[in-house]
Amino acid sequence: MYSTLKEGLYALSDSDWSSGKAISGYVIMLACGAIIWGSKKQPVTSLSSTEAEYYAASACGAETIATRHLVADDLGMQLTSTPIYVDNSACVSLAKDFNSCKRAKHINRRVNFLNDYTESGDVEVLSISTHDNTSDIFTKPLGKIKFMKFRVSLGM
């Protein structure tokens, strides 16, 4: 089972940009089990796969921040920076420094709060191989082997 933080809080984000409006998918994991997940058609038409991935990561980031407050306040857990794994390296770079890519100026500023939380240390956006990104299960139909692998990763 994929997890660098067996007992910690972490999230995985993905998007499917194959046709029309992209699909965002994410899962938030705690103690090797999925506690929050979602899949939704994006309200905007992305002009690039990076934009679609960044939008999905921002939606995941919003849920992650809310979950951090719940876990810290109600469960009393001490949290360090919460990793959000994304399988798009340009998206990871943008989350760390939005000005790192001159061709990304078209991305809606509304989703840029991800940069603020990255800078404050609440979340850390990290790269993950698309073959290990469990949130892929929420964005597109998968073959049986990959589906079963990700289903087990979700703790189901």
Strand ranges inside 43-112, DSSP E: 82-86
| More confident position, 47 or 146 | 146
| Dihedral sign (CA 54, 60, 66, 71) | negative
- Over the stretch 39-78, which tens digit does the pLDDT of each residue have? 999 888 888 888 889 889 999 999 999 999 888 887 777 7
- Over the stretch 48-57, which tens digit does the pLDDT of each residue have? 888 889 889 9
Report which DSSP code applies to 81. Answer: P
Name the amino acid, one letter, at 85.
Y
Could you state, in order of their start, the residue ranges of all structural domains in the chain?
Answer: 9-153
Instruction: Report the side by side order of strands in the sheet with 9-16.
Output: 33-41, 23-30, 9-16, 82-86, 123-127
Name the amino acid, one letter, at 151.
R
**Strand, helix or coil at 35?**
strand
CB atoms within 10 A of CB 139: 23
Pick among 1.10.150.110, 3.40.190.10, 1.10.1050.10, 3.30.420.10: CATH of 9-153: 3.30.420.10
Of 9-13, 87-91, 133-137, the range with the lowest mean pLDDT is 87-91
The beta-carbon contacts of 93-99 under 8 Å, at least 24 apart in sequence, are 94/50, 94/54, 95/54, 95/57, 95/125, 96/125
Q: Which of 3, 49, 10, 5 is nearest to 26 (CA)?
A: 10
